[in-house]
Structure 1
Amino acid sequence: MHLEKIKTVDIIEAKDFKESYVKPLIPLVIKELSKDWPAREKWSLDYFAQEVGEVEVPLYNSEPAKGKELSRKPAARMLMKNYVELLKNGPTDLRIFFFNMLQKAPQLMGDFKYPNLGIKFFKKLPVLFFGGAGSRVLLHYDMDFANNLHFNFVGEKEVILFPHDQKTFLYHVPHSIVAMESIEFDDPDYDKFPALKYAKGFKVLLQPGDMLYIPSGYWHYIRYKTPSVSLTLRSFPSSFPKKAKFLRSILFTMHFDNIMRKLKGQKWVDYKNQKAIKIAHKATEDNKLL
């Protein structure tokens, strides 16, 4: 894979951010965007255990769904305070995905503010992500095609990004928003997945305080280096084509895939993976002819 280092700045003006990064869909790391937020000092694993410790949270891992299982089925559930202890006690593959602060922890809303970057935020969906050391988030793109500001507050995590048009080299699984779940994009097997050699993307190691701008439609893969907590603020795209893709994903793609899983089970999963391989390898051969 050809992975560029993502440009990093301390701060940026709203006009420059919108013109140089949002419009052309180029990722960026801003290091001091949250410097005056209470979250910068307050947020820690112990803080979340204290403030929302009694909230039960669904936990997810990176194991692929098998047979007739739904693709987003929680692997476990536990109280936040118990999950924090799990994170502190050693590596774990269990993650908290899409913890809606407004619904589950409104008392934390004063710990951050929406930055002035020239974009309109969807303020009903500030979400937190937690992960244990060594856990990973499978390569996927967000079905709502939002522009995401991903603020890392606790720990370190490595993020690999690809523009949406790289999907033919990424073993995109048909009728889904994910790549093949067996691929570790931070340690790819090029013998087994040769198309990956042609994929062009970006890579960054996020530190506490860093904000990563993930452009609309970008594929992202995450490896937690240490226990980590991050906040994502979303800005939905205004273009009609992306709104149409969002509606198609919500109304058709997810439902169709779940129906086929129930009807055909593992045969459907195997069929999709085989088709992903076929498409990617054809793209590889086509690329060699250019």
Structure 2
Amino acid sequence: MPYLDSPDADLVRSVQSGDASGLGALLARHEAGMRAVALSLLGYGPDAEDAVQDAMLTAVRHIGELRDPHAAGPWLRTIVRNNCRARLRTPGPVLLGDATPALPSREPTPEDLLEATALRDWVWHAVGELSEPLRLVTLLRYFTGVTSYEQIARLCGVPVGTVRSRLSQARGKLTTALRQTTDRAYDDAAGTNTRWHHEAEEILGAARRGEFARAVREYWWPDAEFIIPNGQRAPGLDFMIRGMEQDLSHGVRQRLRQVTASGDVMVWEADLISPPDNPEHCPPGLVWLHRLREGRITQLRIFHPEPARSTG
């Protein structure tokens, strides 16, 4: 790889400019030091490897925050160290990005970077290369508000241990892909997600206009399956249509917050707005988990995520 002989600063600047190929070289250069930090704090075992892999994936999303390009090595090792300390403090899983060291930010923000450069497209290409079960838990864990292993398990209808195993496999595959990054061009991921977002807005807008049945029949397959929060399956579309129409008749509205999609998996996250005269009518949020076939919805599972607990 031609970047291997380049100084860290050159690699960082190239990645911050949108050249994904420099990121693999940067991580390859510092992987041994990152692993040494993890082993010194966690000892030999899967937790140490997970901490290193999480740090690599964190670097993808947060390298735009690295103000001093010469500080890439210490920055990466600090992410690993913070990951390890978080694992030692809490028995639960560590969320990607939570252990990022606080550094002075600069424009563009990491989100802007991922939305505006080839690095964004590489990220989504790599996620899209995962198998559907691995891709689904990755999207939920790292790109949506459904982040805890327990909530992912409930939404996907699988045991928590399965979620842990799938995420471990996904991290391994993604970090391997990072190490092997090339300068290939990838499809425009932002354009794809924008298209899905517009479609979601159209469907929810149709519901508010009393046209949800029409929208469902346009965007869903006739044999689509609807899975309600308790895991029961309701074949066909009528049950879902009646549920939406009942909510609307009670004055409940949905406000779309985010749409995340990759391959044949799409997640909508929405706020549920209760009627003014009954503010406790419904939970505050709703997740729509769609599976797609040839661009149309073939299965929908809905889920009410638990509100974040206050730490104050």
TM-score by length of 2: 0.25
Give the number of the structure whose residues are more often strand, by fraction. Answer: 1
**Structure with max Cα Rg:** 2
